[in-house]
Amino acid sequence: MILSLNVDRWILPAMLLWPLVAALLVRLLGRDVHAEATGTAAPSGGPDARVLTLAAMVVEALLALLLWLSFDPAQRGWQAGVEMPWLTDLGAMISLGVDGLSLPMVVLTACVVPLALLGSWDNVRVRTPAFGALALLLLCGLIGVFITRDLLLFYLAWELMLIPTYLLVGVWGREGTSRASVRYVLFTLVGSLLMLVAIIALWNLGGGTTLDIDALRAVALSPRAQLF
């Protein structure tokens, strides 16, 4: 039955795009119940932003479960692969796939994030639509890190993961966490820039024609280049 759904053709793009769409819906349609209860916001007719966010995350978890069920452990290499042209001048593509290492991380992420939302259910009492939207953007970035096979797309997913994390910690964290969030951004920004330099260097050493991880993995590097 799963094979008849052609899961391999659409499951990974759906897992990457659904959190983005859901984040927009939560931000536009979600209702801040706490703000209405305290009289700081006018009542609206939309659903509770927390409930809407949790429902979107449950859908993502179900997609991850469907991906798990469609995965063939006897098959080597990437599965559910999707490749579409993107920045052809750079050799960058929208290239997605999972293997035996990334699949458990995808499923674990899709299951843990809604549990984290439940853990913050009564602690987040301000701007819950924005909180839910950022949590879904974080989920999108996390999933993207594990399923992207193009290094430029991987880098964008990595950055998409960092920015919502900074805002979630800085805005909704406890007293004193704003300083921690600034330090977090400084450390991760330096690491991200170094990673971007490494990606550009690998792209250049690979002939400047591709950013595919499998192709760049086959590039012969000198010991000095490997060290850097």
Q: How far, in Å, are 138, 163, 174, 217 from residue 170 at the CA level? A: 14, 11, 8, 37
**What pLDDT was estimated at residue 149?**
94
Per-residue pLDDT band at 47 (split at 50, 70, 90): confident
> Residue 225 has what pLDDT?
82
Residue range 4-11: mean pLDDT, rounded: 80
Q: Do residues 126 and 149 touch, judged by C-beta distance below 8 A? A: no
pLDDT at residue 3, rounded to an integer: 54
Is residue 2 very low, low, confident or very high in pLDDT (cuts 50, 70, 90)?
low
> Residue 42 pLDDT > 80, yes or no?
no
- Could you tell me the CA-to-CA distances from 100 to 97, 106, 146, 150, 156 in Å, in that order? 11, 11, 11, 18, 23
Of 194, 115, 128, 195, residue with least CA distance to 155: 195
Residue 61, pLDDT score: 96
Give yes or no for residue 212 having a pLDDT over 80.
Answer: yes
Task: Identify which has the larger pLDDT, 26 or 166.
Answer: 26
Q: Is 196 exposed, middle or buried (CB count within 10 Å of its CB: 0-12, 13-18, 19+)?
A: middle
pLDDT exceeds 60 at position 191: yes
Tokens 């996390």: give the residue.
Answer: 142
* Distance separating alpha carbons of residues 202 and 153, to the nearest angstrom: 15
| Cβ atoms < 10 Å from Cβ of 190 | 10
Boundaries of every domain in the chain: 3-227
Asked if 137 and 164 touch (Cβ cutoff 8 Å), the reply is yes
